[in-house]
Structure 1
Amino acid sequence: MRLFPPTVLTALLVVPLLAAPAAAAPPDPRVRLADVGAVREADVALAPGTTSLETDPYAMVAATWADGDPVVEVRTSPGGDWEVLPGLADGPTPGEGEGRAGLTATELVWVGRTQDLDVRVTGEAQDLELVLIDPGSDGPAAAAPASRRTARTAEAEADAAPRPTLRTRKDWGADPRWRNGRPHYNKRLKQVHVHHTATGNGYRRSDVPGIIRGMYRYHTHDLGWFDIGYNFLVDRFGRAWVGRSGGPSRLVRGAHTLGFNKTSVGIAVIGTFEERTPRKDARRTVARLAAWKLDKHGRDATGRVWVRSTGSDKYADGERVRLPVVDGHRDTNDTACPGQKLYDRLPGIRRVAQARIDRFGA
């Protein structure tokens, strides 16, 4: 469902005065976001060129289209720097009923709460729409510690790395009504794919539940995925959050690594790491998550493994490729994810994860 097709948007932007028809006020130029539960959202039709918008408050922005290869840039202040919305390389496994056929999209970028937006589109695209989301900045766990049930680190299973502290879907305010279908489960675990969300780095602790809610809304409503694509998310403060539903201890199939979801788990660090190195706490949490999942399935975090693609933009359907057990998204898809600075830290993350496996498996 699109909230604001052009005909509806035109109607919404006309606000009459409480007076006689002849004294009607001029159209209100603001783009109005509609309430959809815990977030607010608007979809705005775009054309090539530069457009200046005044909107209701929003904090996240993306673009979707049906055909073409446009470059979409945004800026939130006149005279500020233009930022290209990066292309989305995540995706569900083909043939499983997730996603909208023929839809192309960008990442959902966090810009901070604002009301102004300039958009510049280069190139042609069919059904090009701008997605604006206000996810709210507070949630059940915005400032509070994780619930008692999850704050306690789980006791180690016999000869296994323990589960790290996890904040639940309830902690970030997931609305189960937004899901499209039911989870699928994998039969085996061969890899952990590390991502960044490309949503930006200038967020506060209290912003994190809203950022995850915004991604959840975008993935389910705008992209048509079953649920948020990532199995787990790690914020820049080192806190781990459960992403996709279905049970964090189970092998839930995500929509994080197109072509390689059937034998993997996806962990996304919230931020953009092309030029900024993620904090040590965040890297350590990624390593702990990887150790917990891999140790249960007898995998060496520093090793390599043969995997078969189900079809990505880098490896054809059926192609076998030998990849690191803990790899970066760019190893499987044509993308900059997880950002060069995080990618450069993957060898250290692998060593820390394997040291944790060796410690608890001894």
Structure 2
Amino acid sequence: MAALALPLALPSGATATIHTPYRAAAPDAPSGSTHTMMLAPLATSGRALGSPLAEGLPERSVKPFSLLGVTWGDSRTDLEGTVQVRTRAVGTGVWSAWRDVESHSEDAPDAGSPEATEAGVRGATAPLWVGRSDGVEVRVVPKRTGGVRGALPALPKGLRLDMVDPGDDPPGAPSAAPSTAGAPPSGTGPTSEAAPSDPVDDPVDDPTRPGDKGDKGDKGDKGDKGDKDDEPGNADEGDVTDPTDTTGTDDELPVVPALTQAETEKITGRHYIGARPRIVTRAGWGADESLRTEDFLFTDQVDTVFVHHSATGNDYDCADAPSLIRSIYRYHIKSSGWRDIGYNFLVDKCGTIYEGRGGGVAKAVFGAHTLGFNADSVGVAVLGTFSDDEPSEKALAAVARLAAWKLGIYGHNPAGTAYLLSGGSNKYRKGVRVSFNSISGHRDGFATECPGTVLYDDLGYIRRKAAALQGR
């Protein structure tokens, strides 16, 4: 894929600086690969005169892969249909049952931006993690609109299956187990003197944990609109940084270590900031830096954290998370045609936090995660699908820790609100000034199922926990 050109102008609401960083040398043998196969009309479809044909691939053997998705030629065209796959596991030879692939992926660059309109950008389903596989079968069926007698839309042109092999983990990859340094003891308020052995999870009988569904991502958490810190323009500029943030340097480390709240306050000069959590860097999860566009892009500040689910399914072990992230990274670049992975951060079911899009974990990096609201925001994806399944308590606690730290750098209360200027979405027209909770779900800015109903219902809990971690 040709390298994407740098934007000459940003979507509304973004003021960016462009920085050419140290570029890590590509590995001698780049890890991972993408294998594609064009879909074709299925023999059993289109029997009715004028009926659009279903497309797919008959059962076949393929090169080993671990993640897949379906892409098509025009990113502005929606896939109005159902996508299903079945795969054969390497080693056992056992075929899976048919699995659904989310046909819409609204984690995307802003409309009209060069990243969204550059040649080579494709429409894409959400990626699906299937584990190590060497056989596949695919079917894409048009979805009837307007009821039983409604029309069948044509499928997008250029449908293909993209299969990603994530390659091997980098030598000396960090443990998936998250550090607890800087986290408060269970059942207490935040502290700046927490020891590395302090637990991070809430007790099962904590009345504020996600079992309390009363707030459903509640808009009631917008109560402090008058908080000066939440007014537009009052956050620090985008050059706020952490001197120990090693990402983007010529001595990149696999992990940004956790700090206590006192250490974090000393480094940033901020009060009401959560302790910096342990973050596995791009080097730690094995990003091939030769894949992405070379330059980094920044916005002014971080006003809002948008929570997502990756929609990649829940059938992964924590040890698989680096491979899963490398697969999403390669899918976003090689299959969708973006400049880098779309999310700023990712969190696995064990509560490990990973750096996403490059540029530095403390910086206001311009991402591609919430169509229309990528400016002045951060996208955090919890690895998994949470339309029906509950995310782990460790994952929720990690999102809260990350949000308490990241919003604190820019002077924001996680339980407050902030305004963002729409770059255009299917929910808010371009140029509209929209009030969001400082921690919002993807669906708050775009009409989508993301981050899944169950995870969305947990956002009120995440806000309260993050605010407490800041000492509010």
TM-score (ref. length: structure 2): 0.65
Q: Match for residue 41 of structure 2?
A: 48
Instruction: Decide whether aligned partners of structure 1 residues 195 and 285 sit closer, same or farther in structure 2, where only a CA change above 3 A counts.
Output: same
What amino acid does structure 1 have at the position aligned with 2:101?
Answer: V
Report the residue type matching 1:43 in the other structure. T
1:156 aligns to what? Answer: 264
Does 1:306 find its partner at 2:306? no
Cα distance per residue 1:4-41 (max 9 Å; x no partner): xxxxxxxxxxxxxxxxxxxxxxxxxxxxxxx9821122
Q: Among 47, 60, 81, which residue is 2:67 paired with?
A: 60
Whether 1:113 aligns to 2:219 is no
Q: Does 1:75 align with 2:79?
A: no
Residues in 1 aligned to 2:295 and 2:446: alpha-carbon distance in whole angstroms: 26
Superposition RMSD on alpha carbons, in Å?
Answer: 2.3
Closer, same or farther: CA 79–348 of 1 in aligned 2, 3 Å: closer
**Amino acid corresponding to residue 62 of structure 2 in structure 1:** T
More helix per residue: 1 or 2?
A: 1
The 10-residue stretch of structure 1 (214-223 or 343-352) with the greater mean CA deviation from structure 2: 214-223
Q: What is the CA-CA distance between 1:137 and the residue it aligns to?
A: 5.7
Mapping for residues 141-152 of structure 1, pairs under 5 Å: 141=173, 143=175, 150-152=256-258
Q: State the SS of the aligned residue for 1:333.
A: coil
Distance change >3 Å, CA 145–CA 287, structure 1 → 2: closer
Helix, strand or coil for the counterpart of 1:126? coil
For residue 290 of structure 1, what is the aligned residue in structure 2? 403
For residue 91 of structure 1, what is the aligned residue in structure 2? 108
Gaps of 5+ in 2: 3-27, 43-55, 89-94, 143-154, 179-252
Q: 2:311·2:384 contact (CA, 8 Å) conserved in 1?
A: yes
2:280, 2:385 → 1: CA distance? 22
Q: 1:142 to 1:206 in 2, by over 3 A?
A: farther
The change in CA–CA distance for 1:75 and 1:251 in structure 2 (over 3 A counts) is same
1:344 counterpart residue number: 457
Instruction: Name the aligned partner's letter for residue 82 of structure 2.
Output: V
**Separation (CA, whole Å) in 2 of partners of 1:149 and 1:105:** 31
In the TM superposition, residue 136 of structure 1 has moved relative to its aligned partner by: 3.3
Greater RCO, CA 8 A, separation 6+: 2
Q: Distance in 1 between matches of 2:102 and 2:275?
A: 38
SS at match of 1:118: strand
How far did residue 73 of structure 1 move?
A: 1.5
- Quick one: distance in 1 between partners of 2:391 and 2:443? 17
C-alpha distance in 2 between matches for 1:82 and 1:279: 22
Asked whether 1:275 is paired with 2:294, we answer: no
Q: Which residue of 2 aligns with 1:219?
A: 332
Secondary structure at 2:114 match in 1 = coil
**1:330 & 1:152 partners in 2: Cα distance?**
31
Q: Which runs of 4+ in 1 moved over 3 A?
A: 99-102, 136-140, 142-149
- Give the match's secondary structure for 1:201: coil
Partner of 2:300: 187
- Work out whether residues 87 and 96 of structure 2, in 8 Å CA contact, stay in contact via their aligned partners in 1: no
SS at the partner of 2:134?
Answer: strand
Which moved further from structure 2: 211-220 or 102-111? 102-111
**Counterpart amino acid of 1:72?**
V
Which residue in the other structure is 1:125 paired with? Answer: 156
Gaps of 5+ in 1: 3-34
Aligned to 2:442: 329
Deviates more, 1:152-161 or 1:322-331: 152-161
The secondary structure found in structure 2 opposite 1:71 is strand
- Where 2:368 maps in the other structure, the secondary structure is coil
Distance 1:149 1:58, change over 3 A: closer
Match of 1:168 among 281, 291, 301: 281
Q: How far apart are 1:144 and its partner, in Å?
A: 6.7
Amino acid at match of 2:139: R
